Structure 1
Amino acid sequence: MINRGFRYRLDPTDEQELMFRKFAGVCRTVYNAALYQREAFWKQHLRTEGKHVSYAGQCLELTDLRAEFDWIREVSATCEQQALRDLDKAFQRFFDGISGYPTPRRKGENDSFRFQGRDIEVEKLNRNWSRVWLPKIGWVRFRDTRPMIGKLKNVTVSLDPLGWHVSFAREIEHEAPANIAPAVGIDRGVANSIAMSSPLEGEQFFSVGKERLAVLDRRRRKHQRDLSRRRRGSKRCGNARKRIAAVAAKGARVREHFNHVQTTRIVRRFGTVCIEDLNIASMTASAKGTVEEPGKNVAQKAGLNRSILEQGWGQFEEFLTYKLAASGGVLVKVDPRNTSRKCSNCGHIDARNRESQASFRCVECGHEAHADVNAAINILQAGTRPSVRAPARRRESRKAA
């Protein structure tokens, strides 16, 4: 079984959009109230009830709230229960050390609500449009851009700067086939988003749409200048913020589309993909430092951070992971040290080998290549060495024994 999400743009009426905002607001209130209860009253609850605050207990209290307050009862109980379930999972992830402590949800950032799949109906209207039945809201049209498959598990309605969207989470029966396709090494960079050790359809370099992102960046800067001249809290200030958020969302879509297209092409041709095990959070940390020990080259580091984040390296890795798993492929992460300074021909490591951003010339054997391609070959060699994957085979043999 694999899980897949299908996301579409909704076309609600004014009355339906008002209901969307009401649903999102009530679910956000229920989440924040439950979070406050867990923070402030857990000791009192444990002393009086003899047990900790739990998802089941808060669902029972939600029933009492719905009987007392009409504005809570107007929203589907399923959506409110899903908000409590999200909070319970957030605490579980916190106690397991996976994520940080749960924080309150905020308007403008957490405008969403979720239904269970059994409460939803979907109908096809024509070639381009379909509609979905949402409890207490009714039929809502959405732009049908691709067919859905699998068993429906849940449906999430969310708001982003580009409008309301609906996401269908589906469970698909799938058995990964044996994948005997060749291996490839991939180097992620700034000048070239992707450099490959083996050409893909005659090309070794792929980059996010820099011209489109440059246009969006100029537009964003213009809106930010407009925002700086607006009075905080005014209607014009709010509109300027919305324009900035919409431009940022469009840039995110450009990156997402690029990563989806390229990872699909890679997975269709290669069975083993080797990439560097990068700590992107540390690589994009600020260089400001502290008041006592201020950082150096802060502006340059900030520009480099923007360039790295613009490529969407983490998203590229995420897409590769689940697509390779579905195709029976393997994603291998290798130590990134010296991959850009090591000669892929003789193995000599020297900082002088990297003559420039694009040029590589080994001072030992004279081997010349594009620096990113040389790094991709080194990544492939490191990822396909027997010692790299031997531990996994030993674990399998112990399990079989």
Structure 2
Amino acid sequence: MGRKYRAYPPCEQDQVLARWGHTARALWNVALEQRVYLWEQRRYTLRSVEQCRFLTAARTDLDWMGDLPAQTGQQILRQLDQSYANFWNPRHSARFPARKKRTHRLSVPFPGQAVEVRKLNRKWAEVRLPKVGWLRFRLSRAIGGTIRNATVSRDGSGWNISFGVHTGRRPDAPNGKPACGVDFGVAASAFVSTETSPRLMAPTLTANERKRLKALEQRKARQIAYAKKHQGGKYSRRLRTTIAQIAKLTARRVNRRRDFTHKLTTDLAKNHGLIGIEDLRVRNMSKSAKGTAESPGRNVRAKAGLNRSILDNTPGERRRQLEYKTRMYGSVLVAVPPFHTSQTCAACGLVDPESRKGCGRLFACTRCGHVDDADHNASVEIEARARRTGGSDINSTRSIPRVRVPASGRRRMREAPKPACAG
């Protein structure tokens, strides 16, 4: 299990951790470049065991590399090994390991043997880090296990300390609770088949915060243009302050979105025995509509707004959380093909685009006259498809093979009576 807490380093520790964060990023990039070079030139696979020997030599020759704790450097090389393993795993959706830019989030990892935690009182605790000393953090929840690793990271709102904890908890037995289907959308964040109203995510930013974010983005654009024209591209202190203010608002939006997602997925996993969702390809859904100069795209700005709305609801993150929370609470997650779920009548099974004209909020079946909210009708259809699969557990995989809609649905569509020709 993961545990994340807000850390409050003093000024001296803040400077040291920031310096280590940039060193860790540089070490990742150098190690990745070394591996790519050896494979392209000699077809040789380099692993962290060999790279640790090069790291020892680099720490002797380079002062800025020697300032980084040795355990941190070794942990970064192990993480690079894991990134390669995820890339080659056909069941994992990871891409090839990427280089980290300067704007990447600062992160300093430590193995569990290198850290020590002590509790100060009911609300505060300290963690001892190599070469830094004791770092205070807010004890917002109990750690509840043996610490395997720790990571100090910084986002727009400040520093955080995360622990990988071995709790010893085993998956719960099947809870025997009722099944449900969930339709994740944009207008309705989530519509559960057993409920009569959708679950809506509150705006992640208030109206005033959106106005402020827009003004800060405009100010940033002006300051960057001025820096390129008069300062050779060098960022001024005011520009860095603007970037920090934008990052703070962005972090606030991310935290609110994550809070809603965790509450939603936890409630679904606890109160249902079978959860059906759509096997969505978010990467394909959020592709840009922008074309080339010869063949420009259509409705580019509208598609960009739709992409932002899709990603703001984080369907991929919801599925990831449901995969491990269903194991915790004794439920089963089933991903069904999304083929025509919004055009299929949950009452009679007819597939007809005319049942949902203009992709509106109302679903009215053209054959049986069934009328329902379009998202609720889709959630009922998702639940039916999940039940037809037999409730097979896919929690152990990140993705499942692409399958077509059951033949019965297509057969019903073909066997639907055709309208009589006039005259």
Same fold (TM over 0.5): yes
Determine whether 1:385 maps to 2:388: yes
2-structure distance, mates of 1:279, 1:44: 36
CA contact (8 A) 1:272 1:331 kept: yes
Q: Secondary structure at the match of 2:360?
A: coil
Q: Report the more deviating stretch, 6-15 or 33-42.
A: 33-42
TM-score, L = length of structure 1: 0.89
Matches within 5 A, 1:300-315: 300-315=302-317
The aligned residue for residue 395 of structure 1 is none
The answer on whether the counterparts of 1:213 and 1:251 sit within 8 Å (CA) in structure 2 is: no
**Which residue matches 1:144?**
139
1:171-217 CA-to-partner distances (Å, cap 9, x unmatched) read 22122222211100111111110001102xxx631111127455543
Q: What displacement does 1:108 show?
A: 2.8
- Is residue 58–residue 65 contact of structure 2 (8 Å, CA) maintained in 1? yes
The structure-2 alpha-carbon separation of the partners of 1:292 and 1:270, relative to structure 1 and needing over 3 Å to count, comes to same
Q: After the TM superposition, which of the residue ranges 124-133 and 77-86 deviates more from structure 2?
A: 124-133
Q: Deviations over 1:327-367 (max 9, x none)?
A: 22111111112211111111122112114522111121111
Structure 2 residue aligned with 1:218: 211
> 1:73 aligned to 2:66?
yes
Provide the rounded CA distance (Å) in 2 between the counterparts of 1:329 and 1:286.
Answer: 36
> What's the offset of the Cα at 1:245?
2.0
1:163 aligns with 2:166: no
Deviation at 1:283, TM superposition (A): 0.6
Distance 1:390 1:42, change over 3 A: closer
CA distance in 2, matches of 1:70, 1:306: 44
Deviations 1:61-97 (A, max 9, x none): 2222223334333321000111112222333334446
Letter in 2 for 1:188: F
For residues 394 and 118 of structure 2, the distance between their equivalents in structure 1, rounded to whole angstroms, comes to 50
SS at the partner of 1:102?
A: coil
RMSD over equivalenced CA pairs, Å: 2.3
Matched AA of 1:38? R
CA contact (8 A) 1:197 1:204 kept: no
* Corresponding residue of 1:23: 20
Residue number in structure 2 paired with 1:358: 361
Could you tell me which runs of 5 or more consecutive residues in structure 1 were left unpaired when the two chains were aligned: 393-401
CA contact (8 A) 1:359 1:370 kept: yes
Q: Distance in 2 between matches of 1:141 and 1:389?
A: 45
Q: Where does residue 34 of structure 1 map in the other structure?
A: 31
The CA deviation at 1:389 is 4.2
Could you say what secondary structure the match of 1:259 adopts? helix
Kept in 2, the 8 Å contact 1:28–1:83? The answer is no
**Cα distance between partner residues in 2 of 1:125 and 1:390:** 43
Seen in structure 2, the aligned counterparts of structure 1 residues 96 and 349 have a Cα distance that, compared at 3 Å, is: closer
Q: Give the match for residue 241 of structure 2.
A: 239
Residue identity matched to 1:75: L
Q: Alignment partner of 1:7: what SS? A: strand
* d(CA) in 2 for partners of 1:276, 1:390: 14
1:88 aligns to 2:81 (yes or no) = yes
Whichever residue aligns with residue 381 of structure 1, its letter is A
| Inter-CA distance 287–43: structure 2 relative to 1 (3 Å threshold) | closer
2-structure distance, mates of 1:192, 1:348: 24
Contact 2:274-2:391 at 8 Å conserved across structures: no
Is this contact kept in 2: 1:287–1:298, CA < 8 A? Answer: yes
Query: What SS is found at the alignment partner of 1:8?
Result: strand
**1:63 is the counterpart of 2:65:** no
Checking the alignment, whether the CA contact within 8 Å between 2:204 and 2:256 is kept in structure 1 is no
TM-superposed deviation, 1:229: 2.4
**What CA distance in whole angstroms lies between the structure 2 residues aligned with 1:391 and 1:248?**
34
Task: Report which of the two has the higher share of strand.
Answer: 1
Q: Which residue matches 1:198?
A: 194
Per the alignment, in what secondary structure is the counterpart of residue 108 of structure 1?
coil
Q: What are the within-5 Å matches in structure 2 for residues 101-140 of structure 1?
A: 101-140=96-135
Q: Which residue type is aligned with residue 264 of structure 2? A: Q
Sequence identity (%): 36
Unaligned runs of 5+ in 2: 228-234, 396-423
- Give the Cα separation in 1 of the matches to 2:119 and 2:394: 50
Distance 2:279 2:123 in 1: 41
Are 2:175 and 1:182 aligned? Answer: no
Letter in 2 for 1:11: Y
Distance (whole Å) between structure 2 residues aligned to residue 211 and residue 76 of structure 1: 38
Q: Are the structure 2 counterparts of residues 378 and 282 from structure 1 closer, same or farther at C-alpha, using a change threshold of 3 Å?
A: same
How many residue pairs match? The answer is 382
